[in-house]
Chain A
Amino acid sequence: MSPENIGKAFQRWLDGDVNFLEHMTDTAHVPDSQREELKAGRRQLQHEIRHRGSHRLLRAEEAGFRIVYNAVAVISCIVLIGVLLFIVSRLPRYGVENPRTLTVVERYVEKGLQETGAVNIVAGMILDYRAFDTLGESHVLFTALVCVTILLRRDRKNMDSTLEDYYTIRRDRYYDTSRDGLIRRIAVVLLPCILVYGIYILLNGQNSPGGGFSGGAVLGAGLILFVASFGFDAADRFFTQKVFSVISFVSLAFYSFAKGYVFFTGANGMENHIPKGTPGAILSGGLILPLDIAVGMVVACTMFGFYSLFKRGSIGKD
């Protein structure tokens, strides 16, 4: 390549016309009229790749890249698996062999009941000892719901009118489970049991395995079954967008401020006015029960919200 050509190519790159390193040789001296043709050819190729399946039209170098890519992917997976297995095989066994791991756990097990008022040590741990993490965790769920809402709630940007044609409506009706008598009758029997069980898990989190996350999941599943068997129209009568927003807002705001109060009093050495209650009773464990209810509400709403957004693109009537 002559210095003159390099100079020209550099000038073109400076003008934003070409890719300096890739096309220095081939398009630097292509006149403008031909460049349009080249572009059209490229578009045609892209179109064909998109519509005919990519394998056949890939050029040799791209196929080569694919082979290398797959090989690297497989090798890095194997290396990662090897490293992880190696670490796990060398980790000291938990507990007796490694006494330094016990300092934290011992206090949870021995003093958990006395300090948190919860028979269920796990509830005491996640909602009292390490409540800050759980505060974050409940907002993770809410964040996920906000993201799904952004993606799926119908608005003028993601609505496609061609989808709303006759066949879609017919197909939706065909697969609509709420028109099925069998499902409806079974749901009538099952639903009360599921909802009562969900409430039981929710309210008993401080005394037995369970709590907000699991109870809320059961309640959410109950709501989904209700909608699947009786249709969204039935749900819209009591569960609108507004009800949904209010429940999540109140639950999460209560959670933030209740825990904020505990953090604030704890760190500043002030007295915490929340009674611990009698261990084993429903009203025990201090804030654990109300927090469980708040988390349960958020989880149930979120699960139902996901289902509803995926199914029809909105949570409820506005």
Chain B
Amino acid sequence: MSFLCNVPLATIVLSLFSGVLCTVISGKAARRYTLVYECVLTGLLVALFVHVYRNGSFTYVMGEFPAPWGNEIRAGVLEAVVALTFMVIMGCSVAAGARFVSLDMDESKVNLYYALLNLMTAALMAIIWTNDVFTGYVFLEILTLTSCGVLIVREIGRTTLAAVRYMILNLLGSGLFLLGVVFLYDMTGHLLMVPMRETAAELAADPQGLTVLTLSVGILTIGLSIKSGLFPFHFWMPDTYGKATPTSASVLSSLVSKCYIFLLIKIYWRAIGVDVMMHMPVGNILFVLGMLGIVLGSVSAMRAEDINRMVAFSSAAQIGYIFLGIGIGGQEGYTAALFHILAHSVTKSMIFLTTPRLAEVSEGNVAFRYLQGSALRDRNAGVFFLVGALSMIGIPIFAGFASKLLFGLAALEHQSDAKLVLTMLALAASSMLNALYFIRTVIRIYTPNPAVRDYRRRHSAAYNIPMMVFTAANLFLGLFSWVAVRLIQLGLEQFV
């Protein structure tokens, strides 16, 4: 066993330790430590990615006891790619949002904020690597608590209210997920994914077993879709993302909500099995909800009166895309969904880190009418926003185009004509709406406004470098999407 196989364990245990460590050091030290730590972890994950790409996936026994008795984690190409992307986004968000962190919160609590981010990293990593459904639940709890914590840290009324609402919905989601896990455990007698899948296949052969299995999976799915913000449960998004400190907004929208979906996909493939999933109507329901989410999320985004709410509602639409991909099913559908997880994470975190800069040069206002000319006052933020907007609309060479193309192709591969037509309609409608409200914002921020005095912003490398990383990742996913698609397909093949 190569020494690199210990990297997944290290990402979890060291992140937990870092979280605890940050509570006893000063805020400044915590920020530096977190940045350095995340760079180190990114390096380790790159090495791990190369290792799994060459040698295939491996399972890692947590302790002395093997599979059905002890805990286990697993690393394959897909997990490595997602973990690496998440880690890069986490590091870039922390670096680019650091200045806002010190503006938005009391000095005495900055270290606690970084402690929460480190604990969140540990939870994200554990959920990505886990091979055990219950471990998924435990770290889901940490993720829930930390995501509320990074919201309330601004200590203004709106974020506290948003956090309370977010917490209630999240706990409902966790509760439903836990119930689903308990039912599955009761039926199959296993919590580890692979033995669970073997028993689930036996159960599904009998129609009564299939009904109960379907309902359990349904409850688990509802739980995770509430947490990630699928259509009827998306109304917590605008306040949660719109009012949080930029790093939190970026991390919550691009990592936390995607992580829940990744866990869902992992459970479908590894704990239930795609063959069994074919006999369940879960996919069709997710397809419909995803489609409604795409259209209604975009309509809500059009109606939004400030830029943050608009971007947040557009997240609801993008989550809809991912569930649409899961609903289409088959390897193509899941590939498109997973690709969109990566593409949207990279894009949305970038947009959430530009909007506060645009607002800052507009006397702190986020409403559209005040934003006029803000991109001219802060040119870098304007360019980065433009890149994000073009990607969200789906202009070729950017990541958003590649994912829309993949959704279309996946629908073509699928046998059902209804799904093909509906997918195409949803894609067309959403692209048009996306274009409408993003282009409108771009026009607004690039229209000169002589009334506002000219700010000359001093640009810091701490902001520009992470944003360039985001841009590069976006262009990479857009231009070389086949690389990512190939890796995702490889990962999905290793899942079975």
Which residues of A line the B interface, CB within 8 A?
A: 13-17, 19-22, 83-84, 86-87, 90-92, 94, 98, 100-105, 107-108, 115, 128-133, 135-137, 139-140, 142-144, 146-147, 149-151, 153, 155-158, 245-246, 248-249, 252-253, 256-257, 259-260, 262-269, 272
Contacts and interface: CB of A to CB of B under 8 A. Distances in A.
The 5 closest A-B pairs by CB, nearest first: A16-B368, A101-B189, A132-B71, A136-B138, A155-B106
Given A87-B216, A264-B6, A92 B138 contact: no
A196 B213 CA distance: 48
Nearest to A318: B108
B62 A267 contact: yes
A129 B367 CA distance: 54
Given A157-B155, A252-B20, A100 B188 contact: yes
B148 interface: yes
Nearest to B149: A147
Interface of B: 1, 5-6, 9, 13, 16-17, 19-21, 23-24, 60-65, 68-71, 73, 105-109, 112-113, 115-116, 119, 122-123, 126, 132, 134-135, 138-139, 141-142, 145-146, 148-149, 152-153, 155, 160, 179, 183, 186-190, 199, 202, 208, 211-212, 215-216, 218-219, 299, 302-303, 305, 367-369, 371-372, 440, 443-444
20 contacts: A15-B369, A115-B65, A129-B69, A131-B63, A133-B138, A135-B13, A136-B141, A139-B122, A143-B116, A143-B145, A150-B155, A151-B155, A153-B108, A248-B20, A249-B21, A252-B17, A253-B17, A253-B21, A263-B9, A267-B5
Contact of A267 (B61, B123, B199, B299): B61
Instruction: Give the most central of B19, B112, B189, B211: most A CB within 10 Å.
Output: B189
Contact of A108 (B69, B112, B115): B69
B70 to A, nearest CB: 5
B20 A253 contact: yes
A132 B139 CA distance: 10
Contacts of A249: 20-21, 23-24
Given A139-B142, A149-B112, A262-B64, A130 B71 contact: yes
A104 B303 CA distance: 54
A19 to B, nearest CB: 5
A108 to B, nearest CB: 7
Contacts of A248: 20, 23
Given A256-B20, A265-B64, 14 more contacts: A100-B199, A100-B202, A101-B186, A105-B189, A136-B123, A136-B126, A136-B141, A150-B149, A256-B13, A257-B13, A263-B9, A266-B61, A266-B70, A272-B64
Contact of A146 (B69, B116, B372, B444): B116
B183 A87 contact: yes
B24 A100 contact: no
Contacts of A17: 368-369
A16 B70 contact: no
Nearest to B109: A150
Contacts of A252: 16-17, 20
Contact of A268 (B6, B17, B135, B216): B6
Contact of B9 (A91, A133, A155, A264): A264
B211 A20 contact: no
Nearest to B123: A136
A274 B293 CA distance: 54
A220 B186 CA distance: 34
Nearest to A272: B64
A91 B184 CA distance: 10
B369 A267 contact: no
A303 B199 CA distance: 41
A267 B302 CA distance: 53
A135 B218 CA distance: 29
A255 B179 CA distance: 29
Contacts of A245: 23-24
B444 to A, nearest CB: 6
B13 A260 contact: yes
Contacts of B149: 143, 146-147, 150
A133 B64 contact: no
B23 A16 contact: no
A55 B107 CA distance: 42
Nearest to A131: B63
B142 A15 contact: no
A155 B63 contact: no
A140 B62 contact: no
A149 B65 CA distance: 38
B479 to A, nearest CB: 32
Contacts of A135: 13, 16
A260 B9 contact: yes
Contacts of A146: 23, 112, 115-116, 119, 149
Contacts of B444: 14-16
B16 A20 contact: no
Nearest to B148: A147
A155 B199 contact: no
Nearest to A149: B112
Contacts of B135: 132-133, 136
B62 A132 contact: yes
Given A16-B369, A139-B142, A267-B6, A21 B303 contact: yes
A103 B23 contact: no
Contacts of B9: 260, 263-264, 267
Contacts of A137: 138, 141
Given A101-B188, A107-B69, A157-B155, A136 B109 contact: no
Nearest to B138: A136
Contacts of A139: 16, 19-20, 119, 122, 142
